[in-house]
Amino acid sequence: MAPPKHRRPGFSRKAQYGLFVTYVVAIAGTMVAALLLAISVADPAGFSALRAAGAEITAPVARMFSNVRRSAQNMNATAAAYINAGSQNAALQKQAKANRKKLIEAQALRVENARLRGLLKFSEDGESQVAVGRLISSTSSSTRRVATLSIGRNFGVERAQPVRGPSGLIGRVIETGPTTARILLVTDAENLVPVMRVSDGLPAFSAGLGNGTVLIKPLNLGESPFKVGDVIVTSGNGGLYPPNIPFARVIKKTSDGALAIPYADPGNTPYVVVIRPYQGEARAAQQAVAPDGETKEVAE
Amino acid sequence: MKIPVTTIRLPTRPAREYKSRFDREQSLLKMLAIPITSVAIASMITALPIFTEEPMLPPLGLLMFLSWRLIRPGLLPVWSGVPFGLMDDVFSGQPFGSAGLLWSLAMLSIEIIDARAIWRDHIQDWLIAAVLIAGVLLGGLWIAGMAHAAPAPAILIPQIILSILLYPLAVRICARLDSWRLAT
C-alpha cells in the first residue's frame, strides 16, 4: 500500500509543524534509546528491576504452560515404560547386578575418605540446597542464554548462587525478582566454569559457545589432551560452583581444547536445585576486594 | 393463523439486530489497541517455556512491528520504534535499549525508503523486511557483544532465515487483525 500523503500537508502551518515534531521526537527517542543502551552496557545489572518486573508479569502464563508441557512429557514416558516393561526389566536387573559391586566399593572408599579427612583435620561444607524450582522460560530469540526460574527471593534465592539439575550443572543466578530469578546458563559465552576431567583431575575452563555446546580449554598449554567421550565435572576452583557436579561430555577434540555437550539440558530438566556457593565466605571476602565484572588490583 | 413458538427465530444479539446499519462508527479503542497489543504479545512469546540450544525463535515482536508498518504506512508514528523496542527489551534478554535503538533505526530507514519507492508490492516489502530483520538481529548480537562475551555471528544464520520465511505469515496475521480492527 502506498503511504498516505502526509509528507506535504498543504498550507496548514499546524499540520506542517506537527509533521516536523514527529521527526524530531523520532530522532530524540532514538538518541534516548542509545543512551539507555550505553548505560546498560556500562552497568549490565542496571535495569534488572525492569526485567524482573517483566518476568513477574509473564510468570503465571509461563508456569501454566510449563505444567502442561511437563505433564505431556510424563505421559509419553509412562506410555513408553508400559511398552518396554519386559525388556527394560531384564536390562535393569543386569545393570543392578553389575552396579552392586561398584556401590560396595564406593561405600568403602567413602568411609576411607572420611577417615583420611579426619586425620588431616580437613573440613568443608557439603553441598547445601537453598531451594528447588523449575525453569519456566528462556531467552530463545536472543544470543544470550538466560533462563527464568520459577522461584525468587521468596525462597531465599540470591545472586551468584549455582543452579544444578538432576543430571548436571545448569548455571548460576544473575538477577532475582520477588517470585522469579534469572539464570545464566553454562552455554552462554559469558559463563566461565572451572572444570576438570573426571578420570585424572586435569584442570580446565569451560566457556559457552551460545549454541548448546561448551568449549573446554585446559589450563596447561600444548596439544589438546582430551579424547572424545571424556567426562568433565566441576572442579570447585574459585569457590562458586561446588566440585564434582557432572558437567559435560567431550564430543570433539579441537586444536587447543575440546567441544563438549553439557549433561543438563534446560529444556528437559523437570526440577533444578539452587545451591549455596561452595566456600561462600572465602568468596565473599574475595568479592569485597575484586567484585565480579571489574578486576581491581590490590595495592599492597 | 397461530405461529408455533419454536419457529420464531430469536436474534442472538438483539442490540446488533435492531441497530442501524448505516453510518456506524469504528471503535477507537479497537483501532488503537489492536496493533499495540499484537506487537506487545508477540514480544512476550519468549516468556513461554520454549528452550532452544541456540537463538532459534524468530523475533516475533519485530516481525509484527515491521508487518504493521509495511502494510499500514501511517498507522504507527515514526517514533513508535522506541517504545515498542524498549518493551521488547524487557522480555528478550538483550541489554536494555538495544531493540529500542535498532527498531527505531529500522523505522527511520523505512521512512526513507517510503520517500523513494512509493508504490511497492508484497515481494518488495518482504525484501525490505528481510534486510531489516537481518540487520536488527546482527546489530543485536553486536550490542550484546559490547556488554558481554558473545558468540560468533554465524550462529544467527538459522534464526535469520527462519525469521525471513515467517514474515509473510506475520503479514497475514496483521492483515486479519487489521480487518477486525477496522470492522464496524
For every residue of B42-65, DSSP letters joined together read HHHGGGSS---SSS-S--HHHHHH
Task: Give all strands of the β-sheet with A135-138 in edge-to-edge order.
Answer: A129-133, A272-275, A162-164, A169-176, A181-185, A146-149, A135-138
Closest-CA residue of A relative to B111 is A3
What is the residue range of A98's domain?
Answer: 93-123
Name the domain count of chain B: 1
Q: Which residue of B has its CA nearest to A67?
A: B49
pTM exceeds 0.90, yes or no:
no
The answer to whether B54 contacts A210, with C-beta atoms less than 8 Å apart, is yes
Identify the domain containing residue B53 by its residue range.
28-182
Q: B56: which chain A residues are within 8 Å (Cβ-Cβ)?
A: 140-141
- CA distances to A30, B39, B48 from B82, rounded to whole Å, are 6, 13, 24
- DSSP 8-state code for residue A2: P
Last residue of a domain, one of A123, A138, A172: A123
In a domain? residue B21? no
Same domain for A98 and A203, yes or no, is no
> Nearest 5 degrees, angle CA A30-CA A35-CA A37?
95
| Nearest residue, CB atoms, B155 vs list A34, A41, A211 | A211
Considering chain A, what is the average pLDDT of its residues? 84
- Cβ–Cβ of A147/B140 closer than 8 Å? no
| DSSP secondary structure of A156-175 | T--TT-EEE-SSSEEEEEEE
Rounded CA-CA distance A278/A126 in Å is: 8
Q: How many CB atoms lie within 10 A of CB B63?
A: 23
The mean pLDDT of A249-275, rounded to a whole number, is: 88
Same domain for A271 and A187, yes or no, is yes
Are B96 and A51 a contacting pair, CB within 8 Å?
yes
The answer to whether position B36 is within a domain reads yes
Residue of B nearest to A182 (CA): B93
For residue B124, the distance in angstroms to the closest alpha carbon of chain A comes to 11
pLDDT at B6 over 80: no
The answer to whether position B122 is within a domain reads yes
Q: Which of B92, B120, B103 is CA-nearest to residue B65?
A: B103
In chain B, residues with a C-beta closer than 8 Å to the C-beta of A148 are 47
The answer to whether position A36 is within a domain reads no
Give A-chain residues touching B174 at CB under 8 angstroms. Answer: none
What is the per-residue pLDDT across B139-176, written as a single tens digit (0 to 9) for each? Answer: 999 998 887 777 888 889 999 999 999 999 999 999 99
Residue A297, pLDDT above cutoff 50: no
Say if B69 falls within a structural domain: yes
User: Which of A70, A73, A134, A142 would you mutate first to test chain B, the one with the most B CBs within 10 A?
Assistant: A142
A190 in the same domain as A101: no
The 10s digit of each residue's pLDDT in A163-172 is 998 889 999 9
Question: Is residue A158 one of the residues assigned to a domain?
Answer: yes
* B104 belongs to a structural domain: yes
Exposed, middle or buried: residue A158 (CB in 10 Å: 0-12, 13-18, 19+)? Answer: middle
A261 shares a domain with A205: yes
Inside any domain, residue B79: yes
Whether A260 contacts A216, CB under 8 Å: yes
Strands (E), B25-145: none
- Any domain includes B23: no
A296 within a domain of the structure (yes/no):
no
ipTM of the shown complex: 0.81
Assess whether A170 and A114 both reside in one domain. Answer: no
- Closest partner residue to B47 (CB to CB) among A28, A137, A144 is A137
Instruction: Judge if A112 and A134 occupy the same domain.
Output: no
Residues 6+ apart with CB under 8 A from B58: A141, B159, B162, B163, B166
DSSP class per residue in A9-59: -TT-HHHHHHHHHHHHHHHHHHHHHHHHHHHHHH-TTTTHHHHHHHHHHHH
Which of A50, A135, A137 faces B90 most closely, judged by CB atoms?
A50
Domain count, chain A: 2
* Sign of the four-CA dihedral B16, B19, B21, B22: negative
Q: How does pLDDT run across A119-129, given as a tens digit for each residue?
A: 877 666 556 88
Are both A247 and A109 inside the same structural domain?
no
Q: Partners of A132 in the beta sheet? A: A273
Among A72, A105, A123, which residue terminates a domain? A123
Say if the Cβ atoms of B97 and A69 lie within 8 Å.
Answer: no
B101 to A34: CB separation less than 8 angstroms, yes or no:
yes
Pairwise CA distance, residues B123 & B125, whole Å: 5
Judge if A112 and A244 occupy the same domain: no
Residues A177 and A273 in one domain: yes
Residue B86 within a domain: yes
Q: Is residue A77 part of a domain?
A: no
Q: Find residue A133's DSSP bridge partners.
A: A272
- Residues of chain B in contact with residue A25, where contact means CB-CB under 8 angstroms, are 77-79
Q: What is the mean pLDDT of residues B53-65?
A: 90
On whether residue A4 sits in a domain, the answer given is: no
Q: Is residue A63 part of a domain?
A: no
**Average pLDDT, stretch A82-99?**
88
Query: Under a CB-based contact definition with an 8 Å cutoff, are residues A178 and A206 in contact?
Result: no
- CATH assignment of the domain containing A259: 2.40.10.340
Res A296: pLDDT: 45
The mean per-residue pLDDT over the stretch B52-76 comes to: 90
Considering the domain boundaries, does residue A185 fall inside one? Answer: yes
pLDDT value at position B105?
95
Contacts of A54 in chain B (CB under 8 A): 47, 90-91
User: Is A61 part of any domain?
Assistant: no
